[in-house]
């Protein structure tokens, strides 16, 4: 137990050192603080917040070498010459097509077949699907703070074309970190302007006693307030 606690605290420190983070307590909205500090399922909280069910869209799944995601690979205990990583990108949207979050999941590709199938499934939010497949019961919060929200327009409302899961593509030698092309359900602007400040959280998702995936979720500031509290009002982290 001591070894795991030490490893988890070191992982949190390493992640926080790698980017500017402020912690959940730095936000003015108590709802935002609750969302960022919770180690429960984010989909459930967002659905309660929105008052309606959410669905994934713009789901893309790709293979990646551990060297492309060194911090994630280290947290997942995958050596540089170890198994490939799977990177899933998606958005959670309302039935009307409003995006509430954009999500990136980096997982070790050496996983059971059922979990690999769930990773590529675009028909349901990933959290509940992973729980149904027997994982995702434990989360360890690594970081929370402010990121940027790059708007994507024209999300297809419910009843429109349903996106299909992308087939993983092998990367060519010497390629930079791959950026998945999002599917036809979302059309991105060719050169989106810098986005508004948005709250984000990063956490480690466990499968039994082994780390399964590093999850980063960025929340649409139109729905999840990203206003920082005044310094004197900030909660302890």
**Is 45 a residue whose pLDDT tops 70?**
yes
- If one counts the domains in the chain, the total is 1
Give tens-digit pLDDT for 136-180: 678 899 999 988 897 654 344 444 333 333 333 333 333 333 333
**30 domain-assigned:** yes
Q: What angle is formed at CA 46 by the lines to CA 42 and CA 118, rounded to 5 degrees?
A: 50
Sorted by sequence, the CB contacts under 8 Å of residue 93 that are 6+ apart come out as: 54, 55, 56, 57, 99, 100, 155
DSSP notation for 58-120: EEEEEEE-GGGSHHHHHHTT--TTSPPEEEEEEEEE-TT--EEEEEEEEEES---HHHHHHHT
Tell how strand 138-149 and strand 99-108 pair up: unpaired
Sorted by sequence, the CB contacts under 8 Å of residue 118 that are 6+ apart come out as: 126, 129, 130, 132, 133
36 by Cβ neighbours in 10 Å (0-12 / 13-18 / 19+) ranks as: buried
What is the pTM for the complete model shown? Answer: 0.74
**226 domain-assigned:** no
Q: What is the CATH number of the domain that holds 53?
A: 3.40.1410.10
- The predicted pLDDT at position 136 comes to 63
Contact (CB, 8 A) for 204 and 142 = yes
Name residue, tokens 């590709």: 109
**160 domain-assigned:** no
- The predicted pLDDT at position 193 comes to 43
Give tens-digit pLDDT for 96-147: 999 999 999 999 998 888 888 888 888 878 878 887 777 767 889 999 998 8
**162 domain-assigned:** no
**148 domain-assigned:** yes
State the number of CA atoms in the 13 A half-sphere of 175 facing the CB: 13
- The predicted pLDDT at position 117 comes to 86
**183 domain-assigned:** no
Mean model confidence pLDDT for the chain = 75
List residues bridging with 194 in a β-sheet.
Answer: none
Tell me the C-alpha distance between 12 and 68, whole Å. 20
**182 domain-assigned:** no
Domain extent at residue 93? 1-152+190-219
Tell me the C-alpha distance between 61 and 86, whole Å. 7
**132 domain-assigned:** yes
């Amino acid at each position: 137990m001591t070894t795991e606690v030490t490893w988890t605290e070191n992982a949190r420190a390493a992640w926080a050192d790698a980017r500017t983070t402020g912690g959940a307590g730095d936000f003015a909205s108590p709802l935002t603080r609750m969302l960022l500090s919770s180690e429960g399922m984010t989909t459930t909280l967002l659905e309660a917040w929105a008052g309606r069910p959410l669905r994934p869209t713009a789901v893309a799944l790709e293979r990646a070498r551990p060297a492309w995601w060194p911090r994630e690979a280290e947290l997942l205990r995958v050596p540089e010459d170890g198994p490939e990583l799977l990177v899933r990108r998606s958005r959670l949207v309302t039935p009307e097509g409003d995006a509430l979050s954009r999500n990136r999941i980096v997982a070790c590709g050496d996983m059971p077949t059922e979990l690999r199938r769930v990773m590529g499934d675009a028909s349901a939010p990933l959290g509940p699907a992973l729980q149904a497949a027997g994982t995702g019961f434990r989360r360890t919060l690594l970081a929370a703070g402010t990121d940027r929200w790059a708007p994507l327009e024209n999300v297809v409302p419910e009843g429109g074309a349903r996106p299909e899961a992308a087939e993983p593509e092998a990367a060519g030698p010497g390629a930079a970190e791959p950026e998945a092309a999002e599917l036809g359900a979302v059309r991105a602007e060719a050169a989106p302007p810098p986005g508004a400040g948005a709250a984000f959280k990063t956490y480690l998702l466990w499968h039994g006693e082994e780390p399964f995936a590093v999850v980063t979720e960025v929340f649409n500031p139109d729905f999840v307030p990203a206003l920082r509290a005044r310094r004197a009002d900030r909660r302890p982290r």
